[in-house]
Amino acid sequence: MTYSHTTVWIIILAMALGSFLIRFSFLGFIGDRKMPDWVLRHLRYTPVAVLPGLVAPLVFWPDATGGHTDPSRLAAALVTLSVGYFGKNVLLAILSGAATLYGMLYLLG
């Protein structure tokens, strides 16, 4: 990446302030008033709406292999997803995914 240190600090401070305001929002400014249901209904889906889209290109077109789909990385992603979905355990899913990745990279050389 090609950011100056000033730009990096602008990013850090904007993220710090923005994250704080998001977290403080209702607790700080709204107090006891209730939020409209439609707002809550959309906010509920933010993690599952943002993170899969962020990850998808990295899984299908990884930079490390020049953008070509890589069987090791694809298998690791699938194993992580299955273990996380059925096991409901984040740490176990990460470990299974890492084991699959290293195992496949070793086998396929």
Partner 1 sequence: MEPSANPKTAFLRGARDALPFILVVGPFALLFGVVGTEAGLNLTEVMAFSVLVIAGASQFAALQVMSENAPTIIVILTALAVNLRMAMYSASLTPYLGKAPVWKRAMVAYFMVDQAYTLSQIKFEMEPEMGLSARFAYYLGTVAPIAPFWYAATYVGAVAGTQIPAEFALDFALPITFIAMIAPALRTMAHVAAAVTSIVVALLMAWMPYGTGLLVAALVAMVVGAQVELWQARRALKGAAP
- Of 40-99, binders to partner 1 (CB under 8 A) are 40-64, 72-73, 76-77, 80-85, 87-91, 93-94, 97-98
Residue 97 near residue 77 (C-beta atoms within 8 A): yes
Q: Does 108 bind partner 1 (CB under 8 A)?
A: no
- 9, 12, 18, 23: CA torsion to nearest 10: -150
Q: Does 8 bind partner 1 (CB under 8 A)?
A: yes
User: Which residue in the set 9, 69, 71, 108 belongs to the binding site for partner 1 (CB under 8 A)?
Assistant: 9
Q: Which of 53, 56, 74, 52 is nearest to 65 (CA)?
A: 74
User: Which residue in the set 20, 69, 71, 108 belongs to the binding site for partner 1 (CB under 8 A)?
Assistant: 20
